[in-house]
Chain A
């Protein structure tokens, strides 16, 4: 891989510059973003736990409808929507702000400026989201999937997000050196894509509603792209930064990583329309979405090859690293969920999977098994470096990993198997609809069991994190940190 004749010159590479004014130490950068990142991680874990409670309620209600049925604010429709928004905008966005901006600051080699502004924006983001979730529980939500937050809460979210994203873009603008690592591409693009998606979808559907059919197109353009152009780039940025970083080995092919990024950027935007296969929109529009979905195989295979070839021969190191256990699980899930997603975009497959639990399993496969697991890995690497403390309990990390890995595997297998059977039965006119519904119950119960596994993992994660954060004296007493150590000392 190495070719010393082509190395970036030290003068233009801030990582190795001899001039202190150009070279910023990673520890200095970490210290500058510590307060904001810790705030975002605390917020993210708070929303993760709240979202988990809503998820358990919704899961149990699916096979036991009278569970908590006496309270109108805990009916299935509200709890399910509260779960989705708590996880996507609460856990997802906060952890992106924490890990994504930390990686951006490190790669830009620039200690952050105006950290107070970042913190204030974060506070307003979480206030806006709290207002939105309470609004959903009160019954004020919209009827648009992924955009259920009531209209009165969205302006605060937009303004808060804009402040956070502008900070990320400014860090990039004033980066030291000309080089742009592939993770920076992903993060920068995501910071632009998310507001574009959110503002356009809000405008076309909520504030100045277009006709119904156009709303549905915009709805799925937004919902699908939130995963593909917001959560996916941030998770891939984290994987592309931390897999080589932890292993001490450069990414197998930087060329492939760049190719993967640009293929995602060009193809993904069109793919969401495949959610409307069979719907009352022009057939060619759906066909364009199907073509884009199949084209997504290119970046997915590129990423899979690149990640696999980077870790090949170092599987023991992967297993011994808390960070890489989660990240490699997420990276493998990315390959699987993306290939399944491309297949689901085919008309013949969609005929079976549409309107079934298969789609729910697919969504959790992407948002949890891929995105969330990689972000867990990011937190395990980032926090010891920000706080200069080790994780207090290796046992809790393992409990977290196994709870989440088993839980999400059971959930995806149960929902996709049950969903496929459900779809086949729904397409058979000789099977009564009520019988189809009753046949899904065992699979839904399996989903609830998987939720318990996930809850155990989340509690282990939260306990370990707050133990690390607040019991500083006890944690420092440990001798063998999960920090980077060159000669056994803390970095």
Chain B
């Protein structure tokens, strides 16, 4: 590929660089906003009163029957 043809790749390369720059800028923004601190606390924010931590919230119907009958026996 000669020098002239080489320039044909510039749009793709510039897009790649732009993509990279945008990513780094957003990473910087998230750090400034404090999203890279208090990781353990952030992991718990998906739990609510309706769907609390410590409770399995999805089972096959027969699995639930089985676990209940075990509880009843105890």
A269, B16: Cβ atoms under 8 Å?
yes
B58, A13: Cβ atoms under 8 Å?
no
The proximity string for A residues 294-337 relative to B, scoring 1 for CB distances below 8 Å and 0 otherwise, is 00000000000000000000000100111110000000000000
B53, A280: Cβ atoms under 8 Å?
no
A262, B59: Cβ atoms under 8 Å?
no
**Alpha-carbon distance A393/B50, docked complex (angstroms):** 25
- Tell me how many residues of B have a C-beta within 8 Å of chain A: 49
Beyond A2-B44, A25-B50, A262-B27, whether A248 also contacts B57 by CB under 8 A is yes
**Alpha-carbon distance A214/B5, docked complex (angstroms):** 9
Nearest A residue to B59, CB-CB: A320
Give chain A nearest CB distance to B58 CB in angstroms: 4
B23, A244: Cβ atoms under 8 Å?
no
Give chain B nearest CB distance to A468 CB in angstroms: 13
B60, A397: Cβ atoms under 8 Å?
yes
Beyond A2-B44, A245-B57, A482-B59, whether A282 also contacts B9 by CB under 8 A is yes
B46, A245: Cβ atoms under 8 Å?
yes
**Alpha-carbon distance A491/B45, docked complex (angstroms):** 20
The proximity string for B residues 4-46 relative to A, scoring 1 for CB distances below 8 Å and 0 otherwise, is 0110110110011001100110110010011110111111111
Q: Is A249 an interface residue (CB 8 A)?
A: yes
**Alpha-carbon distance A209/B40, docked complex (angstroms):** 49
Chain A residues near B43 (CB-CB < 8 A): 1, 244, 250-251, 253-254, 257
Q: Is B69 an interface residue (CB 8 A)?
A: no
Nearest A residue to B24, CB-CB: A266
Most buried by B among A178, A398, A480: A480
A214, B46: Cβ atoms under 8 Å?
no
Q: Is A132 an interface residue (CB 8 A)?
A: no
Chain B residues near A250 (CB-CB < 8 A): 40, 43-44, 46-47, 53
Chain B residues near A269 (CB-CB < 8 A): 16, 19-20, 23
Most buried by A among B6, B35, B43, B63: B43
B33 touches which one: A178, A213, A244, A285 (CB < 8 A)?
A178
A181 touches which one: B36, B42, B64 (CB < 8 A)?
B42
Beyond A1-B40, A6-B38, A266-B23, whether A320 also contacts B60 by CB under 8 A is yes
The proximity string for A residues 252-285 relative to B, scoring 1 for CB distances below 8 Å and 0 otherwise, is 0111011000100110011000000000111001
B57, A394: Cβ atoms under 8 Å?
no
B11, A281: Cβ atoms under 8 Å?
no
Q: Is A211 an interface residue (CB 8 A)?
A: yes
Chain A residues near B55 (CB-CB < 8 A): 248, 484, 486
Chain B residues near A323 (CB-CB < 8 A): 58
**Alpha-carbon distance A253/B59, docked complex (angstroms):** 25
B9, A217: Cβ atoms under 8 Å?
yes
A484 touches which one: B5, B51, B65 (CB < 8 A)?
B51
The proximity string for A residues 47-72 relative to B, scoring 1 for CB distances below 8 Å and 0 otherwise, is 00000000000000000000000000
Nearest A residue to B51, CB-CB: A484
The proximity string for A residues 3-29 relative to B, scoring 1 for CB distances below 8 Å and 0 otherwise, is 100111000010110000000011100
**Alpha-carbon distance A210/B14, docked complex (angstroms):** 15
Beyond A217-B12, A248-B47, A285-B9, whether A179 also contacts B42 by CB under 8 A is yes
B45 touches which one: A8, A246, A317 (CB < 8 A)?
A8
**Alpha-carbon distance A178/B32, docked complex (angstroms):** 12
**Alpha-carbon distance A244/B58, docked complex (angstroms):** 11
Give chain A nearest CB distance to B62 CB in angstroms: 6
Nearest A residue to B44, CB-CB: A250
Chain A residues near B51 (CB-CB < 8 A): 26, 245, 484, 491
Give chain A nearest CB distance to B5 CB in angstroms: 7
Beyond A181-B45, A211-B5, A217-B12, whether A8 also contacts B38 by CB under 8 A is yes
Chain B residues near A257 (CB-CB < 8 A): 43
Q: Is A148 an interface residue (CB 8 A)?
A: no
Q: Is A221 an interface residue (CB 8 A)?
A: yes
A321, B59: Cβ atoms under 8 Å?
yes
Beyond A25-B50, A26-B50, A181-B46, whether A8 also contacts B35 by CB under 8 A is no
Give chain B nearest CB distance to A383 CB in angstroms: 12
The proximity string for A residues 226-248 relative to B, scoring 1 for CB distances below 8 Å and 0 otherwise, is 00000000000000010011111
A214 touches which one: B12, B34, B47 (CB < 8 A)?
B12
B39 touches which one: A15, A255, A486 (CB < 8 A)?
A255
Beyond A214-B8, A254-B42, A269-B16, whether A282 also contacts B56 by CB under 8 A is no
**Alpha-carbon distance A484/B64, docked complex (angstroms):** 11
Residues of chain B at the chain A interface (Cβ within 8 Å): 1, 5-6, 8-9, 11-12, 15-16, 19-20, 23-24, 26-27, 30, 33-36, 38-65, 68
**Which 8 residue pairs are nearest across A and B when measured between Cβ atoms?**
A484-B57, A320-B63, A480-B61, A254-B43, A254-B39, A250-B43, A255-B39, A321-B58
Q: Please name 21 pairs of A and B residues whose Cβ atoms are closer than 8 Å in the assembled complex, sorted by A.
A: A1-B43, A7-B38, A8-B41, A15-B48, A107-B46, A181-B45, A185-B30, A214-B9, A250-B53, A254-B42, A254-B43, A266-B20, A270-B16, A320-B56, A320-B59, A320-B60, A320-B63, A322-B58, A323-B58, A394-B62, A491-B51
Besides A8-B41, A282-B1, 12 new A-B residue pairs in contact (Cβ under 8 A), listed by A number = A6-B41, A27-B50, A178-B33, A211-B8, A251-B43, A254-B42, A255-B39, A258-B35, A282-B6, A397-B60, A484-B51, A486-B52
